[in-house]
A and B are shown apart, each in its own frame.
Chain A
Amino acid sequence: MSTPRPPRAIVLLGAQRFDPTLGAAAAELGLDGPIATITAGWQEREGEDSDLHEHLGKRTINLRLHRRADEAFRADPELHAAHRKKQERLRHKQDFYRIRLEHELDANHVIRQRKAPPEILAEEEAASIGAIRLLDEYHLGQCAKVESEFDAAWRPFERDSIARHRHEIAEILRDTVAIAIAGGHVATLLNRLRLFGIAELIDGQVVLAWAAGAMAISDRVVLFHDSPPQGPGASEVLDRGLALCSGVVPLPHPETRLRLDDAERVALMARRFAPARCLAMPAGARITYRDGRFGSPHRVLRLSIDGTRAPVQPTDDLLPEEWA
């Protein structure tokens, strides 16, 4: 068996719901063969993909990861129970992480309001950001631990219930030129991608991903909303992503979810996740990752540690952020 090849290119896109640009991106890349689609983020509505099918020229094959997971769990109740338990552990971890995070963010806010000699303020604020970054890292580590313990104990890829589907998926992918990963519920999507080891089944196809899809294939998934109904929003890391493209934090729907004119929030986001670059991806946005580099940006905004945001230019080489 030959070693699978990494994606030929990865295209991150903004939301596709009202003004899809996916077809144009596929055309520009010369993708003229079948395209596998992943709509597991739509959960029970996974199969309602006729618009996507039409948009991509009726050449899509939905991998139906959500339905496959349901089938696998029905066939393998032991695995299902263990998986539920793992998810419950992750929820607890998220809950405790959130409690600590709220306090760290409050501390950062208080420090920013203090009057003190500038050099002391800068040091203390950097220490506060450092504490938030440490907490984020700790949480990601905890998630990884829970996942690896589950994998080691249950070896899901070796169980018939999962292996059968992985085999089928690999067969489907063999004839495809691209994989299109739609948005939706990012935790569900990430969960299904991981359950079937999709990252390991890619064999040179182009990956097109938007909204939650783009988030799930980056290094880490950052949940965010600056104006939720329950008060000022606090961004939080959910888990590691598939890390198909490295060094960026895709932020879809900035039009409704981010207060980009709030310099304090923008700066905090940029510093917290540096050296990764926070990229706001409004509808119509697009950027391509190839050979370890990002290029061909269109309507993508980069958040900077000074609290500003600016369109990524084709000549930008998207150097890592320096946070401290």
Chain B
Amino acid sequence: MTQSQLLAIHELEASQPDRAKVDAWMAGRRFPIVEGGRVTFVFRGDADGVTLRHWVYGLESNSALQRIQNTDLWYLVLEVPPGSRVEYKLEIHRNGHSQWIEDPLNPHRARDPFGANSVLQGVGYEVPEWTRPDPLARPGVLEPFAFHSKALGAVRHGHVYLPARFRRTRLYPLMIVHDGSDYLNYASMKTVLDNLIHRLEIPDVIVVFTDSPDRLREYANDERHAKFLTEELVPDLQKRLPLQDRPQSRCLMGASFGGVASLSTAWRYPGFYGRLLLQSGSFAFTDIGRRNRRGPLFDRVVEFVNAFRAEPTAISERVFLSCGVYESLIYENRSLVPLLDGTGMQVKLVEARDGHNWENWRDRLREGLSWLYPGPLMMIYE
């Protein structure tokens, strides 16, 4: 569709609609309305004003919807590139108050530990089929575990994923996932693992999903956390599970602060983790001064990233990064690539028209996991 073509909302507006016309126009329609690269957000109801609230860095975050005269229909047209996913809410203003709500006309939601947002799926975006349960894929099992960490002085809980055909006589690579419960609950990671293993795109792998009750502290370059993983958890897992004991077979992964925790742990134990999967890592840094614009929560992150940037070394072998181009962290992640690359590590960055959210991280898992751990697909010719 070209820019000059009339949108559905404009046709409606031109017809000087009344309630009946609006009813008829809305019947059977999907919202927001995606017409090529243009998207029409719609709200219907009494209000003094309606505002679109979204999480697209670089785009005006506070855009007002306009009302069609003599109706209770509000709309806003935005240009959204193909393949985009945009999370948003509607802010409804009434009687001097305002309330953020999920779009009642849009069934798509993205969930995270803090709640849910509505999701606009731009033209061409489809939920990858490999993220959905495949009845042909044998399911692996998740076993809960609890581990008392001396370094942290507390018990940490999590789950161990064992692949479907797990056998004690075989040796497996190990992945440790930060924010493990969130990856399982919001990024469908168990389903993804089952499917990718079934399709031979990744090998059978043991995955440990860990959680932290204080992630903003422990994941922000905390020596105790690195020690917990490397000197306590991995040796314990190695005693209990048939794991390949070599750097190439150990991977740390995480998103946002979990990405920082992965990189900083590998930095504290160079050469121990041969694979890193870092999604939308919060790699805040400064070129001058010590305080990043993101605030004190990032101070320890800035300290670490600045130190790494000052003296970058090959701490791992292969590093996969992904980041949404609609999140502000795209700047930090892009900046990191030449730095990592220059050390001799193999680096791959994948960008997506998406934001800082679990579905973005879910959608990048296939490319990341199969690049770090190519499955036997290249070996099997039946």
- Closest Cβ of chain A: how far from B381's Cβ, in Å? 4
Q: Are B370 and A225 in contact (CB under 8 A)?
A: no
Q: Are B382 and A184 in contact (CB under 8 A)?
A: yes
Q: Which residue from B201, B374, B381 sits with its C-beta under 8 Å from A215?
A: B381
List A contacts of B346 (CB < 8 A). 99
- Interface status of A228 (Cβ within 8 A of chain B): yes
List B contacts of A170 (CB < 8 A). none
Q: Are A186 and B377 in contact (CB under 8 A)?
A: no
Alpha-carbon gap, A252 to B381, bound state (A): 7
Q: Are B366 and A211 in contact (CB under 8 A)?
A: no
Given the interface contacts A185-B376, A230-B371, does A212 sit within 8 Å of B366 by beta carbon?
Answer: no
- Interface status of A292 (Cβ within 8 A of chain B): no
What 0/1 readout, one digit per residue, does chain A (18-36) give for beta carbons within 8 Å of chain B? 0000000000000000000
Alpha-carbon gap, A115 to B325, bound state (A): 33
Q: Choose among B165, B196, B377 the residue with the greatest number of A CB atoms under 10 Å from its CB.
A: B377
List B contacts of A15 (CB < 8 A). 381-382
- Interface status of B310 (Cβ within 8 A of chain A): no
Q: Are A185 and B379 in contact (CB under 8 A)?
A: yes
List B contacts of A5 (CB < 8 A). none
- Interface status of B380 (Cβ within 8 A of chain A): yes
- Interface status of A253 (Cβ within 8 A of chain B): yes
List A contacts of B136 (CB < 8 A). none
List B contacts of A41 (CB < 8 A). 382
Q: Choose among B248, B348, B370, B381 the residue with the greatest number of A CB atoms under 10 Å from its CB.
A: B381
Given the interface contacts A229-B201, A229-B366, does A184 sit within 8 Å of B371 by beta carbon?
Answer: no
Query: Chain B: how many interface residues by the 8 Å CB criterion?
Result: 18
Alpha-carbon gap, A224 to B377, bound state (A): 9
- Interface status of A231 (Cβ within 8 A of chain B): yes
Q: Which residue from B248, B378, B381, B382 sits with its C-beta under 8 Å from A228?
A: B378
- Closest Cβ of chain A: how far from B175's Cβ, in Å? 16
Within 211-257 of A, Cβ neighbours of B (below 8 Å) are at 211-212, 215, 223-225, 228-231, 233, 236, 238, 252-253
Q: Which residue from A44, A212, A236 sits with its C-beta under 8 Å from B380?
A: A212
List A contacts of B367 (CB < 8 A). 229-231
Within 175-200 of B, Cβ neighbours of A (below 8 Å) are at 196
- Closest Cβ of chain A: how far from B58's Cβ, in Å? 27
List A contacts of B196 (CB < 8 A). 229
Nearest B-chain residue to A187, judged by Cβ: B379
- Closest Cβ of chain B: how far from A117's Cβ, in Å? 33
Given the interface contacts A229-B370, A230-B371, does A183 sit within 8 Å of B382 by beta carbon?
Answer: yes
- Closest Cβ of chain B: how far from A139's Cβ, in Å? 15
Within 324-382 of B, Cβ neighbours of A (below 8 Å) are at 346, 348, 366-367, 370-371, 374, 376-382
List A contacts of B371 (CB < 8 A). 230-231
Nearest A-chain residue to B378, judged by Cβ: A223
Alpha-carbon gap, A199 to B377, bound state (A): 26
- Closest Cβ of chain A: how far from B382's Cβ, in Å? 5
Nearest B-chain residue to A70, judged by Cβ: B169
Alpha-carbon gap, A44 to B164, bound state (A): 14
Nearest A-chain residue to B382, judged by Cβ: A183
Q: Are B381 and A183 in contact (CB under 8 A)?
A: yes
Q: Are A184 and B381 in contact (CB under 8 A)?
A: yes
Chain A interface (Cβ < 8 Å from any Cβ of B): 15, 17, 41, 44, 95, 99, 182-188, 211-212, 215, 223-225, 228-231, 233, 236, 238, 252-253
Give 25 CB contacts A-B under 8 Å.
A15-B382, A44-B165, A182-B382, A183-B380, A183-B382, A184-B380, A184-B381, A185-B379, A186-B381, A211-B381, A212-B380, A223-B379, A225-B378, A228-B370, A228-B374, A228-B378, A229-B367, A229-B370, A229-B377, A230-B370, A230-B371, A230-B374, A231-B348, A231-B371, A253-B381
